[in-house]
Structures are given as structure tokens and as C-alpha cells.
């Protein structure tokens, strides 16, 4: 059933993964947009499981942007140390907290342009916050799993997240842009892993060209 039409392939991918993952949600534990933003920033180059161990203490000390804006960077670094790149993450989170407090009245903004004006927030993080916290779909979050699967499935020829996002957006319904990120991330973790993809267990095996997969 191998397909050459990316649009038809994408429709098949979406329908099958929707059946496999009927209620996808972020793996990052959060309550509200601010917590999701912080957790997503911390998750860069770190596992969601590790972030979920760190955020309870983080939000106990600094429940919202107003509290974090007054924190000492050294204290933030100490709490988030195990997530890696802790100095840069702490610096960005403090600056983002100040901007949210001073410019946006303490509320996480609801547009791509405003979110990406926050230090440490690029399109991937903004897309995750917009789609999951606000139901706003301005793009598709492209992380390492989405990058890998989009290429293997023949939906893009690029390894540039910006290009990949542009390639994917026309292929999927706008209201499904948040879900397709979840679907590909979940399938990437469970089946289409980086080193040893379990192609024999994949629900998309018959439509996947397996680009870049060694036989």
C-alpha cells in the first residue's frame, strides 16, 4: 500500500495514529500555560521524566512568573541543575518571567509573535504552549522525534525544524496540528526509535518509505 502522494500519506498517518492514540496529552506534568512553558524550556536536551521530577520543587518555590522574576539566578540553577544547560535555562526563565510580568501583565501571551519574544522561547516551545494550553494552532512543534519521523515517512527532505514545520503544515488539518506532534512523538518513543526502529510493529509500515533506515 506504499503511497507516493504526501497528502494521502499524511491523511493515512493521521487517521491511524488517531486510532492508536485517541487522547494524546503532553508528557510534561503541568497546570496552566506558565507551568507548561517552564517545563518545555527545561525539557530541551533533557527527558520529560527528569523534568517532571524537577518541576514540583520549582513551582513550590516560584508558583508563577511574578515570584520567579524576583528569584536569584543561583537558586534557580540549583533547582534545575539536573536538567542540563542549567545556567542558560535559568537565565532565560528569569528573563521570560520578568517580561511576562512587566509586559504582559503576568499572563502568558497567546500569539506566536508575543511568545517568541520571550527569552528562550522559539517556535517549538511556542507551538506546544499555544496548542496545549490555549487551543491555538499557529504551527506544528518540531522536536527530534518529529524531525526523525517526518523524514523517514517521506513527509520532508529536510533536517531543519523550520523547513520541516513548513512542509508538514499543509499536509494536516489545522485543528490537528497539536495532535500530530503528540502522535509522532509517541510513535517515535514507542516504535520508530532513533537507533533501532521496530518496523515490524509499526502501524505505518505499509505506507512508510523508511527513508534513512538501514535494512
Segment 113-166, tens digit of pLDDT: 999 999 999 999 999 999 999 999 999 999 999 999 999 999 999 999 999 999
Specify the pLDDT at position 215.
77
Same domain as 112, residue 75 = yes
Same domain as 37, residue 128 = yes
What is the average pLDDT across 204-215? 93
Whether 143 sits among the annotated catalytic residues: the reply is yes
Annotated catalytic residue within 124, 159, 196, 210: 124
Any domain includes 208: no
Specify the pLDDT at position 6.
84
Local confidence band at 214 (pLDDT 50, 70, 90 cut-offs): confident
Specify the pLDDT at position 208.
96
CA distance 109 to 118: 10
Which of 107, 134, 161 is the endpoint of a domain? 134
Any domain includes 210: no
Asked if the model's pLDDT at residue 211 lies above 80, the reply is yes
Specify the pLDDT at position 76.
98
CATH number at residue 151: 1.10.1670.10
Local confidence band at 169 (pLDDT 50, 70, 90 cut-offs): very high
Same domain as 120, residue 155 = no
Local confidence band at 5 (pLDDT 50, 70, 90 cut-offs): confident
Which of 78, 108, 134 is the endpoint of a domain? 134
The number of folded domains in the chain is 2
Containing domain of residue 155, as a range?
6-24+140-201
Specify the pLDDT at position 4.
65
Annotated catalytic residue within 143, 159, 167, 196: 143
pTM metric for this prediction? 0.94
Asked if the model's pLDDT at residue 2 lies above 70, the reply is no
Q: What is the pLDDT of residues 32-47, one digit of tens each?
A: 999 999 999 999 999 9
Specify the pLDDT at position 41.
98
Same domain as 120, residue 82 = yes
Same domain as 144, residue 127 = no
Amino acid at each position: 500500500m506504499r503511497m507516493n502522494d504526501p497528502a494521502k500519506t499524511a491523511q493515512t498517518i493521521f487517521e491511524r495514529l488517531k486510532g492508536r492514540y485517541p487522547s494524546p496529552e503532553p508528557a510534561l506534568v503541568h497546570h496552566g500555560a506558565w507551568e507548561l512553558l517552564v517545563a518545555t524550556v527545561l525539557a530541551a536536551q533533557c527527558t520529560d521524566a527528569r523534568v517532571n521530577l524537577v518541576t514540583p520543587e520549582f513551582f513550590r518555590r516560584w508558583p508563577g512568573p511574578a515570584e520567579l522574576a524576583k528569584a536569584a539566578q543561583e537558586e534557580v540553577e540549583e533547582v534545575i541543575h539536573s536538567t542540563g544547560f542549567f545556567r542558560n535555562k535559568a537565565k532565560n526563565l528569569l528573563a521570560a518571567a520578568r517580561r511576562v510580568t512587566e509586559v504582559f501583565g503576568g499572563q502568558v501571551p497567546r500569539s506566536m509573535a508575543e511568545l517568541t519574544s520571550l527569552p528562550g522561547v522559539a517556535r517549538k516551545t511556542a507551538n506546544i504552549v499555544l496548542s496545549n494550553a490555549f487551543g491555538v494552532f499557529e504551527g506544528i512543534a518540531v522536536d527530534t522525534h518529529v524531525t526523525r519521523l517526518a523524514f523517514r515517512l517521506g513527509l520532508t527532505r529536510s533536517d531543519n525544524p523550520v523547513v520541516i514545520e513548513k512542509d508538514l503544515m499543509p499536509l494536516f488539518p489545522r485543528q490537528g496540528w497539536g495532535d500530530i506532534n503528540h502522535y509522532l512523538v509517541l510513535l517515535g518513543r514507542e516504535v520508530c526509535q532513533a537507533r533501532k526502529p521496530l518496523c515490524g510493529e509499526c502501524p505505518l509500515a505499509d505506507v512508510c518509505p523508511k527513508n534513512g533506515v538501514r535494512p
